Structures are given as structure tokens and as C-alpha cells.
Amino acid sequence: MSLVTEARRRAATALGAVEGEAVAARLELRQADLAATLEQVYGAKVDAADLVERLVDRVLDAACSRPKPLRVLDRRREIDPSWFQDPATIGYVCYADRFAGDLSGVRRRLDYLGELGITYLHLMPLLRPRDGDNDGGYAVVDYGSVDPRLGTMADLVNLAGDLHSRGMSLCIDLVLNHTAAEHPWALAAAAGDPAYRAFYRVFADRELPDRFERTLPEVFPDQAPGSFTQVDGVGWVWATFNDYQWDLDWSNPEVFDAMLTVVLDLANRGVDVLRLDAAPFLWKREGTDSQNQPEVHLILQALRACCAIAAPGVLFKAEAIVAPQQLTQYLGAHDRFRPECDLAYHNQLMVTLWSTLATRDVTLARQSLTNLRPAPSSTAWVTYLRCHDDIGWAVSDEDARAVGLDPAAHRRFLSDFYSGAHPGSFARGALFQLNPRTGDSRISGTAAALCGLDAARSAGDDEEVAIALRRLLMLYSVVYSFGGIPLLYMGDELALPNDERRAQSAGQAEDNRWMHRPRMDWAAAQRRHEPASVEGRAFAGIAGMAAARARLAVLQSGTGPEVLDTGDRRVLAFARRHPGASGLVALANFSDDPVLLPRETALPGLSLEARVVQSSESTELTAYDVALPSWGHAWVTDP
Ligand code: GLC
């Protein structure tokens, strides 16, 4: 019996004839992709046809046991595959404990998210981590249970249900690249079980590690130098991140199978989006940096195909913080398109926004955003300003040189600027992982602190406070209008400062990323409706953008923006067009000066009837020109 016939029979028995036919159709559609990718990755080790059969069996189990409410959601999403590209989709990112204590607490705070127009909630790592240091939850010991401090799997299922009933979706992290050293697979490997030893990359001596390390960059040069860790009685174990995070060996098909089981289980709990952590690192190849290898994409495509058969409403989001020329491939943009991840972080936009804020010159931003390969129309970027990680200066050498900058010097300048070391800098961040060998470093700090708010508040300078808030909102105005799903990072809606108390918590003093992972300040949140308060101004600005965005069909994510040249280096401008919607131009002034731009260069393609639909105060549009205050922004659209 063919796989499809068997799938039809099994699914029809479990779910009825109509749904059975749908499962069979999905398998038919994805089967070729699955077979081709697995053959390329694993064909030399195992019989790929046998592997396909085994995996499809697992996928069918998941399809047949998928709860009814989730199958109903699948149906809706298959009818409208662009559901996540809707302009009303807006994300919020937080740690469940820091935001609301635990998962039940999160359920009680959904109205707060509603005020911000949130429809997509990304909860930071919540599966059971190892005890002690766990890299913010990225060292998991059990993918099948929730961190007991946050609740239980039943709480997660209930939270997903609550979100769905409000038309919201749930995103959680899935750490694919590594497990904690205390995960049962790792413990079995350490105890000498050959099947589990083959789950990791273990070397008897330094010969191969030394050879690999010749071309491997260090991710945590300061806190965890090198990419291997020596384990007594075991040998040298590949550990790209911290010593207690052991990289899985994805060249072993058993690892694929085990992780597929995890993916399908989480999907059937009601998770809508899986954030695939550290995806670029899955495949290692000597003589390279062991990131973004072709096999990484094939593995993601194979996982995608499997998940789409069992749980077609579930999305993958790539956490691929990589160079611009490697980025769009995670959305399936290869010579031949094949569904891969539906979403990917637009780290180029994030980096160029911060770079431009420091230089007050949009030339580099224009260059790198124009140079980036566009996202396939069935996918979307997630646009963001801050996340829980440091900001790495992923400006490509090619882009920097094209606009006359020395790449290394520019990156050093950015770190100096945001650590506050550069004369006249308004930012109050901190250097993260300074690598003494290369001089490279990254930056920690909350968005507000990097925009100058912490400095302005401690100086008691109200005018500077207003300017810093304008900077923050101007940056978010780009994030909310560029195209893609905007992500609001918890606390930015209240312009929360750096967390100065973090040093008192164990494990957090050494890793200064915790300075921008504050606890939610609910006392500050109480002030969100006081128009004169800092919190009130930030909150109203962000909520206003959300409301405006939801009404603008032109912000649907299926098409990309066109970056414009207004002839003024201080202003970032881009046009958005969408068939069936009026065009929109977004303008952002990255300078201390108010600017006046002639209408024909600032708003190409818009008519005389065009109106400002969202802006900072004192923005003005006349029949001839558009005036933006310093660090101001405007969205202009035809009626
Ligand atoms: C991702 C996470 C980061 C973590 C790393 C290792 O990059 O965002 O916080 O340290 O993966 O899991």
C-alpha cells in the first residue's frame, strides 16, 4: 500500500473521511520534499525510503491524535494561509515569570496585552531547564514538561486555549541545537550508552576539536571560550554556547526523529509558533564557521514538511542572527523555493536602526536594506528593536565599504557609542562578550536606555527625556510599519530602564544580558494612562501605532517595502504598496534637527489627498512639504 493510501485509511478511521482525505492530501503534497531532503542529508547513512516511512508513521500518529479545537484552527488557517500576515498581527515577547509570576499569572494579564493590540504572545523558554545556571532557560532537561516554577503542561495547554479564544497565538522556544548536559540523552551518553553517545559530538582527544576551532568563531568568548568542553570520562564534547549546553549531532537521523517527536508534541499542546533557537548551528563542517550549512536548510525543510502534514496551522520561526547574505534563505529563499520557516527575525533592520541612531545618517541603512534578498511572499519577517539577547553588529563588510565606512571601525564605534564611552553619547548600555583577540563586542541594555532615557532621567533633564522618548517611538514606528510581524519587547511600552538590581541574582551578574531582562514594573504600568508620565507617553505612542497599523491593509506582510531616497541623509523613508490598498510612505527622522522635505521627494506616488495617519507630535503635512521634528516620524497614506 502506498504511504498516501495508508495515511488516508488511518486518518479516516481516527478523524472521519473528510479529515482523512485532508491528511492524505497534505502528505501527497509534502512527500516529495520530505523524501528529497532526507535523502540528501541522511542518504549516505541509512535507507532514506525507510526513514521516510518511519517518520511518516510518527507524523500520522500526531495527526490522528491532534485535539479537535486545534484541527478546527488548522482548517481556518489552511483556508486563509496568510492569517499571520494580517496587519493586525502584533507580537509581545516576555518571560512568563518576569512578566506575571507564572503561566497562570500570564493568563490573568491578557487584558493588558489587549490594550496594546497584541495578537501573538512569545513566551521565553519555559520547558524544564537544568538546575542552576541555564542560560535563561536555553538548557533544557525535559522537552515534555514545563519549568515547575512556571506551572505545568496543563497550564500551558490552558493558556494556549485562552489565547485562541481571544484570536491570539502562542509562540514558544524550541532549543534544537543543544540540550542541557543533564538531559537524559546526555546522561546516557556520558554513561557510555553508544546510541546516545551518537546523539552528541564527542571526541576522544583534541585533534578534531583543534582542527574545527581553526575556523570557528566563539559565541561567548568571555564566559565560555572555545566550542568544546572537556568532560571527565567522556572526552571533548561539542558545546557551542555554555559548557552545560551540549550540541546535538544532527547528522544522526535518530536525533532528527527524536526532535520531530518534540515538535509534534508541542504542536498538539496548542503551540502555534515554534521559535527554532540557534538554527544556523545545526550542522558542522570542518574548514567553515559551521553555521548556515546547506544541510541546516534541508533539515528545517524536512521538519517543516512533517509538521505541515500533522499540524498545518503551526508556524516555524527561525532564530538566525546571521549575516544579511545568509538570512532570507531561512524563509525558504533558495534557487528553488521550498517551504522552510514561515517567520524569521529581521536582524538587519534591527541592527541598522541602532547603527543609524548613532550615526544620524541613513546611507548605510538604505544600502543594507535594499541589498537584502526579499522575503518570499508566503512568509513574513518579524521586525523588532530589542530582544532578550545582546545586539551584535551584523553589518556586512560589503555594505559598510559600499558607503565608505571601515567595517571594523564602524562596529567598534557602535559598541563605544552604546556603552556610553563615545564622547557625547546619550546611550547607557554595556559591552557584552568583548573578545580581546578580535576587539569585537556586542551591546546590552534596554531600548529606552540605549535611546538616552536613563541618562536623561538621572540628569533630571525633562527636555532630554522628551527627546529620548521620541527616539524610542521613532524606532518603533519603523518596526511597526516596515512590513512583517512587529514584536514588542516587554517593558519597552513603558520605556523601562536597565535593571540595576540584576547583579544581586545568582548567575545573572556574569551575564549582563540580564540588564535588559527586567521584571515587569506593574507600579510603573499603573501610570500608563497618565498622559504626562514617561510611561503614559511611551504606552500611548506604542498603542497608537498598533491601532493605526491594524487599520492599514497596506501593511499586510506578503509584500516588502521599497526603501526610498529622499535626498536627505537624516531621513529613513520607505513606501509600502499592496494590491487593493492605498499606498503608504513611512518617514523617520534620525537627527537632532527638525527637517522639512518637499512633498514630491518625500512622498512619491501619493496624491495631494494623502493624510498623516500616525506620527510624533508637531509633524505637519502641507500642500508643499512635510515637516518632522527632531527624531520624529510619520506614516502618510492616501485615503
Ligand atoms: C539563542 C538565544 C540565546 C541563547 C542561545 C543559546 O541565540 O537567543 O539567548 O544564549 O541561543 O541557546
Question: What pLDDT is stored for residue 504 in this prediction?
Answer: 61
440: how many CB neighbours lie within 10 A of its CB? 18
Report the C-alpha gap between 171 and 118 in whole angstroms. 13
For ligand 1, atom 5, name the residue with the nearest CA.
278
Q: Report pLDDT for 20.
A: 98
Q: What is the CATH number for 203? A: 3.90.400.10
The verdict on the CB of residue 247 being under 6 Å from ligand 1 is no
Q: Count other Cβ atoms within 10 Å, centred on residue 604.
A: 15
CATH of the domain at 586: 2.60.40.1180
Residue 136 lies in a domain: no
pLDDT of residue 440: 86
Residue 488 lies in a domain: no
State the Cα–Cα distance between residues 331 and 339, nearest whole angstrom. 7
Protein residue with least CA distance to atom 10, ligand 1: 135
For ligand 1, mutation pick of 138, 140, 178 (most atoms within 8 Å of CB):
138
139 CA from centroid of ligand 1 (Å) = 9
> Can you tell me the distance from the alpha carbon of 167 to that of 164, in angstroms, rounded to the nearest whole number?
5
- 471 assigned to some structural domain: no
Q: Which of 124, 227, 248, 389 to mutate to test the pocket of ligand 1 (most atoms within 8 A of CB)?
A: 389
* Secondary structure class of 280 (helix, strand, coil): helix
- The catalytic residue among 97, 173, 277, 499 is 277
535 catalytic residue (yes or no): no
Cα of 279 from ligand 1 centre, angstroms = 10
Contact 316, 271 (CB under 8 A): no
**CB 139 within 8 Å of CB 245:** yes
The predicted pLDDT at position 438 comes to: 80
Choose the final residue of a domain: 195, 223, 247: 247
Based on DSSP, count helices (H) and strands (E) in the chain, helices before strands. Answer: 24, 25
Q: What are the per-10-residue average pLDDT scores of the chain (639 residues)? A: 94 98 98 97 98 98 98 98 97 98 98 98 98 96 98 98 98 98 98 98 97 92 88 96 97 98 98 98 98 98 98 98 94 93 97 98 97 95 98 94 96 97 96 85 97 98 98 98 97 96 70 94 98 98 98 94 97 93 95 96 95 96 96 97
Q: Is 361 a catalytic residue?
A: no
Q: Is 147 a pocket residue for ligand 1 (Cβ < 6 Å)?
A: no
The predicted structure's pLDDT at residue 385 = 98
Predicted local confidence at residue 595, as pLDDT: 98
- Is residue 276 in some structural domain? no
Separation of CA 288 from chain center: 25
Q: CA torsion, points 104, 105, 110, 116, in degrees to nearest 10?
A: -150
Q: For ligand 1, is residue 511 a contact (CB within 6 Å)?
A: no
Q: How many domains does the chain have?
A: 3
Indicate whether 369 belongs to any domain.
Answer: no
**Which is nearest to 524 in space by CA: 484, 494, 568?**
494
Domain that holds residue 202: 184-247
Q: What is the DSSP string of 320-331?
A: ----HHHHGGGG
Domain boundary (50, 79, 108) is at 79
Instruction: Output the pLDDT for position 436.
Output: 81
Q: Which of 31, 49, 79 corresponds to the end of one domain?
A: 79
Determine whether the shortest distance from the Cβ of 390 to ligand 1 is under 6 A. no
| Cα 465 from Cα 471, distance rounded (Å) | 10
Bridging pattern class, strands 485-489 and 91-94: parallel
Greatest alpha-carbon pair distance for the chain in Å reads 77
